[in-house]
Structure 1
Amino acid sequence: MGGTILIADDHPLFRQALALAVATVAPDARVIEAGTLASAAKAASEAEDLRLVTLDLKMPGAIGYSGIALLHAERPQVPILVVSSAEAATAAEEARAFGAVGFLRKDADLARIEDAIRAALAGSPPPTPRPDQMDTVRKDVAGLTPTQLKVLLAVLDGKLNKQIAHELGMSEATVKAHMTAIMRKLDVRNRTQAALVARSLGLDLAH
């Protein structure tokens, strides 16, 4: 079937292990690797035939589940398989809520990793999340654009509009416009409330 599979993990040895699993399941696929969230997002946006992303939650540049949200925003039709050492009991459920199709701990054996990759490539649908208020908010966050997510994460990091503008290469007016759109989508009145919503979803928690 060919196509491209993106392996996003900051540990070269684990990227190599995942590449071996991919080679077994999809020998015709082209594998590209990324060691930071920024390089993963760039690769995801540029790969025309991207079929799957495997993602570590602890990627440099990621905060909590923000890596899933950002990559899902870049390529909403591409399945994301989280392979992480996250200890939180709810990590798998949260990962799916933000757009991942599956979650595996890094201590899973090679056969399980191969099975998960095979299922993700086959388009196995993720479980239907329970309909509660937090699910609605998660969907709102997942509906933000990549740039809006970057702005929101910078706000969580305590940066001012001027700093965000410099960091993202845009004007302060553009940052303010993005914040207005973010607050509208999250149904909040100010940046503090927007940060609280993101924080309540674990976007600022290290996993």
Structure 2
Amino acid sequence: MSESILIADDHPLFRQALTMAARKVRPGAEIIEAGTLDTALEAVRGAQNLSLTLLDLKMPGAEGFSGVALLHAEAPEVPILVVSAAEAEKAAREARRFGAVGFIGKDQSLPHMQQAILDALEGRFAETAPEDEAVDTVAAKVADLTPTQLRVLLGVLAGRLNKQIAFDLSISEATVKAHMTAIMRKLDVHNRTQAVLAAKALGIGA
């Protein structure tokens, strides 16, 4: 079965450019396109032999690095290439904390895009020096959350009540509370407010 590559960007013209670059590198790969974060998450859950995700940081439905974190939680074995405007390169480097392996600037040429895609597919990831050891430590804990735990945390960050989060995720309030207990344990915090502050410090949430 051939491999598949997910291209998640809300701009059709840029999705087309990324598709061209991906097809140059992997002519036989199935290209899956997504214009929103929810569509991308559905694609990740249903894709066969997904070998790479190209993700726009500013996707509709994403806030901060939540898109990277959610896609990484759904498929931690699939490398993520962050796609963003050139001025957002620092943010793209920070997204590595949540599972991104590289960066494609929207002002880069087609050959540069092709090389970045090839490097990611072949496991050639640039090493980056830690910028903030304390933040890196917490980020690693956030990246270790399950997809549902991450969604619960994002619901908390959005200011939603347990019953609202339960409705959003089609689970019970008791299950939301159980997830919050697990989240606080994983993040090594002692209450809901501390969990929110920890995640906000990482760019997840307003």
Per the TM superposition, whether the score is higher than 0.5 is yes
Counterpart for residue 99 of structure 2 = 99
Deviation at 1:105, TM superposition (A): 1.7
SS at match of 1:77: coil
For 2:31, what is the secondary structure of its paired residue? strand
Which residue does 1:3 correspond to in 2? Answer: 3
The aligned counterpart of 1:109 is 109
The aligned counterpart of 1:194 is: 195
Alignment of 1:44-63 (within 5 A): 44-63=44-63
Q: Which amino acid aligns with 2:70?
A: L
| Contact map agreement 1:2 1:26 (CA 8 A) in 2 | no
Contact map agreement 2:86 2:107 (CA 8 A) in 1: no
Task: Report the alpha carbon displacement of residue 162 of structure 1 after superposing the two structures with TM.
Answer: 0.6
Distance of aligned partners of 1:139 and 1:129 in 2 relative to their CA distance in 1, 3 Å threshold: farther
For structure 2, list consecutive stretches of 5 or more residues without a partner in the other structure: none
Q: Helix, strand or coil: the match of 1:90?
A: helix
- Residue number in structure 2 paired with 1:81: 81
- Give the 3 Å change call, closer, same or farther, for CA 153–87 of structure 1 in structure 2: farther
In structure 2, the CA distance between the partners of 1:88 and 1:22, relative to structure 1 (3 Å rule), is: closer
1:98-137 residue pairs with structure 2 within 5 A? Answer: 98-130=98-130, 132-137=133-138
TM-score by length of 2: 0.94
State whether residues 8 and 35 of structure 2, in contact with CA within 8 Å, keep that contact through their aligned partners in structure 1: yes
Q: Which TM-score applies when normalising by structure 1?
A: 0.94
Q: Do the aligned residues in 1 keep the contact of 2:86 with 2:105 (CA within 8 Å)?
A: yes
Supply the RMSD in Å over aligned alpha carbons.
1.5
CA distance in 2, matches of 1:202, 1:103: 18
In the alignment, is the contact (CA less than 8 A) between 2:89 and 2:105 conserved in 1? no
Aligned-partner Cα distance in 1 for 2:199–2:161: 17
Which amino acid is 2:158 matched to?
Answer: D
Structure 2: distance between partners of 1:168 and 1:176:
13
Trace 1:9-28 onto structure 2 (pairs within 5 A).
Answer: 9-28=9-28
Aligned residue for 1:53, secondary structure, equals: strand
* C-alpha distance in structure 2 between counterparts of 1:86 and 1:22, whole Å: 20
Q: Which structure 1 residue ranges, 4+ long, deviate > 6 Å from structure 2?
A: none
Unaligned runs of 5+ in 1: none
Going from structure 1 to structure 2, the CA distance change for 1:89 and 1:106 (only over 3 Å counts) comes to: closer
Does the CA-based 8 Å contact 1:57-1:86 persist in structure 2? no
